[in-house]
Amino acid sequence: QEQRRRLLDVASRFPLPSGCRFSYGTAGFRAYGATMAPAVCRAGILAALRSVKLAGAAVGIVITASHNPVGDNGVKIADPDGGMMAQHWEPFADALANAPDPDALLQLVLQFVKNEGIPLGGHHTAQVLLGRDTRPTGEYLLDAALQGINAIVGAHAIDLGILTTPQLHWMVRSKNKGIKASESDYFTQLIDSFRRMLELVPKDKSGDELAKKLIVDGANGIGGVKLEQIKAKLSGIDINVRNSGKEGEGILNHMCGADFVQKERVTPHGFSPEDVGVRCASLDGDADRLVYFRVSSPSDNKVDLVDGDKILSLFALFIREQLDIINNNGSQVNKSLSARLGIVQTAYANGASTQFLKNLGLEVVFTPTGVKYLHKKALEYDIGIYFEANGHGTIVFSEDFLSQLESLINDHSSEAANGSAQYHAAMRLMAASQLINQAVGDALSGSLLVEAILQYKGWSFQNWCELYCDLPSRQLKVKVIDRSSIVTTDAETKVSQPSNLQELIDKETANYTHGRCFVRPSGTEDVVRVYAEASMQVEADSLARSVAQHVE
Ligand code: 16G
Ligand code: ZN
């Protein structure tokens, strides 16, 4: 009774404006911030139900619209393992967000609770951790989420304040593993494991001053703020934050940030010709995307871009090298490690990166766009590395692999053995597994891993760039009446409907050397996206244009 009353109450406090339609989409609900309160409140209800269903395990809510304009906002839910909410709850999320009135909402919840066997009304507990980015509507929406959570009897909300998206995912994961889960624990883990990585850099590789210098474009978001807080404690690297989110420095994601740099390929606001040659990293507004770049010349604003694919390639190379050292090096203990290493990409990965990874003999697999698909696939391996070209990605390690690694390290604990290359490689993998955020892609931990690997290899930005040469590509968006009329298959690389479209795409593609092209409906915008790749820029452009005409 109490439960019913609370749900009716909260639903009447946040009526759905008519004509409003929310869809959970690729990464939660997103819209103009001021219109989001009903959806965010309902996401609060949803998160609390999810926690009840999972025996009171902590669930997370992040209030952010990532790389989108400052006026937008959004909400997404993190599952107890720190990953995205299980996909089979998404249809319920949609229905709940769009329930037209309090009665409809109540009926939906009661029906769902019954179908899913959620012990609502028993002596259950639920806890929901909340984080938000720096957007002006964040606090208002936080309140809506709290009201939604509190509408579920027994639910307990913990507001963690302003955080990066990956911090919140990390905290949810840590909390449920029973390990320390505060922000300072997160920082300590980053700082300590980064220090350990640098201690394991071979002495002959320690580079010059430029090798230690990094400029970070914080997109005027939360990532820069957090980095400022810890950079003094990161020894062995000299970090300078621009677009740090300080008053007056600029607008969130406006002319800056990972999305801007990756799409426009020009220097973000706040960078100048004086920065030519220095290694730069760019985060997005909630710091779950990372790309690198270098200002190419003093005379124009172009950049040399290192995107998610090349970060992935660097990580893959490093992991593979350590595994090889462990398994091929003769040593006193000479125990080998069996590890299935898998690389996960999407159709947007530059063809040259896929070729590079395959040439290393690695297993490369594809999933549809969206972190939830890549992450899930990566978990199938002992070590799974995934990245989207736009800079979302991380590395995940299986429990089994980590315990093998630990026992290998223990076997080497004797004085004589712990100078061995095998021991060092195992220690590097262990440190990397602690530095990288295994809950979700994290620009802060990701950039520290990049920095540590570059120092380990004694590599400059140029060496990294030259791993392979990107094939020229072009992306276009096409406005159509109904984007859902396009249905894709094979990880979005092929169109299955309308039935003749794939044949037309194949025909166009055959006209180009190294031609590759696919189309897919966007999960976040009302458009169909076209991607084309070929050996020359003009060819990629023209392939994209001609395929776009078939889509229109
Ligand atoms: C979301 C996804 C991102 C994906 C993008 C594609 C998450 C956290 N974010 O931002 O991974 O690349 O959507 O957008 O999953 P699109 O469907 O409009 O092309
Ligand atoms: Zn983001």
| CATH number, domain with residue 247 | 3.40.120.10
Co-location of 401 and 298 in the same domain: no
Co-location of 67 and 83 in the same domain: yes
Co-location of 53 and 127 in the same domain: yes
The CATH number that applies at residue 525 is 3.30.310.50
* 173: in domain: no
Least confident window among 75-79, 125-129, 408-412 = 408-412
Q: What percent of the chain has pLDDT over 90?
A: 88
Quick check: 418 pLDDT over 80? no
Task: Give the range of the structural domain holding residue 454, as residue numbers without chain letter.
Answer: 309-465
Q: How far is the CA of 158 from the centre of ligand 1 (A)?
A: 27
Nearest ligand, measured from the Cα of 262: 1
* 13: in domain: yes
Q: Which atom of ligand 1 is nearest to the CA of 529?
A: 19
Co-location of 148 and 271 in the same domain: no
- Which of these, 344, 425, 354, lies nearest to 383 by C-alpha position? 344
* 507: in domain: yes
Residue 335 binned pLDDT confidence (cut-offs 50, 70, 90): low
193-239 pLDDT, tens digit per residue, is 999 999 999 988 767 777 899 999 999 999 999 999 999 999 999 99
Q: Which of 441, 465, 489 is the last residue of a domain?
A: 465
Q: What is the pTM of this model?
A: 0.96
Q: Note the pLDDT of residue 19.
A: 83
Q: Which of 274, 290, 308 is the last residue of a domain?
A: 308
How many other CB atoms are found less than 10 A from the CB of residue 265? 15
**What 3-state class would DSSP assign to 345?**
strand
* 188: in domain: no
Co-location of 413 and 488 in the same domain: no
Tokens of 355: 């070729």
* 184: in domain: no
Q: Which atom of ligand 1 is nearest to the CA of 525?
A: 18
Phi-psi category of residue 490: left, alpha or beta, with phi > 0 → left and psi -120 to 50 → alpha: left
Q: Note the pLDDT of residue 247.
A: 81
Number of DSSP helices (H) and strands (E) in the chain, helices first: 18, 19
242-271 pLDDT, tens digit per residue, is 999 888 899 999 999 999 999 999 999 999
Q: Which of 308, 340, 371 is the last residue of a domain?
A: 308
Q: Is the ipTM of this complex over 0.90?
A: yes
Residue 524 binned pLDDT confidence (cut-offs 50, 70, 90): confident
Average pLDDT, stretch 113-138?
94
Quick check: 332 pLDDT over 60? no
Q: Are 152 and 48 contacting, i.e. CB atoms less than 8 angstroms apart?
A: yes
Q: How far is the CA of 259 from the centre of ligand 2 (A)?
A: 9
The CATH number that applies at residue 370 is 3.40.120
Q: Note the pLDDT of residue 415.
A: 67
* 100: in domain: yes
Co-location of 281 and 383 in the same domain: no
Q: How far is the CA of 27 from the centre of ligand 1 (A)?
A: 7
Average pLDDT, stretch 55-77?
97
* Average pLDDT value for the chain: 95
Q: Which atom of ligand 1 is nearest to the CA of 523?
A: 17
How many other CB atoms are found less than 10 A from the CB of residue 345? 26
Co-location of 225 and 314 in the same domain: no
Q: Note the pLDDT of residue 416.
A: 67
Co-location of 110 and 21 in the same domain: yes
155-179 pLDDT, tens digit per residue, is 999 999 999 999 999 999 999 999 9
Q: Which atom of ligand 1 is nearest to the CA of 372?
A: 15
Q: How far is the CA of 119 from the centre of ligand 1 (A)?
A: 34
Task: Give catalytic residue positions.
Answer: 66
Q: From CA 221, how far away is CA 245, in angstroms rounded?
A: 5
Q: Note the pLDDT of residue 320.
A: 97
Average pLDDT, stretch 284-309?
95
* 21: in domain: yes
Which amino acid belongs to residue 190? L
Co-location of 399 and 495 in the same domain: no
The ligand 1 site (C-beta within 6 Å) comprises 26-27, 66, 369-372, 388, 390, 392, 522-525, 529
Q: Note the pLDDT of residue 329.
A: 61
465-521 pLDDT, tens digit per residue, is 999 999 999 999 999 999 999 999 999 999 999 999 999 999 999 999 999 999 999
Co-location of 316 and 342 in the same domain: yes
Cβ-count burial 4-27 (b if 16+ within 10 Å, e if not): eebbbebbeebebeeeeebbbbbb
* Probe residue for ligand 1, chosen from 26, 373, 437, 530 as the CB with the greatest number of ligand atoms within 8 Å: 26
Number of domains in the chain: 4
> Residue length, the chain?
552
Tokens of 177: 């593993």
**What 3-state class would DSSP assign to 323?**
helix
Average pLDDT, stretch 98-121?
95
Nearest ligand, measured from the Cα of 369: 1
Co-location of 100 and 119 in the same domain: yes
* 62: in domain: yes
* Comparison of pLDDT for 57 and 299, the residue scoring more: 57
Co-location of 328 and 267 in the same domain: no
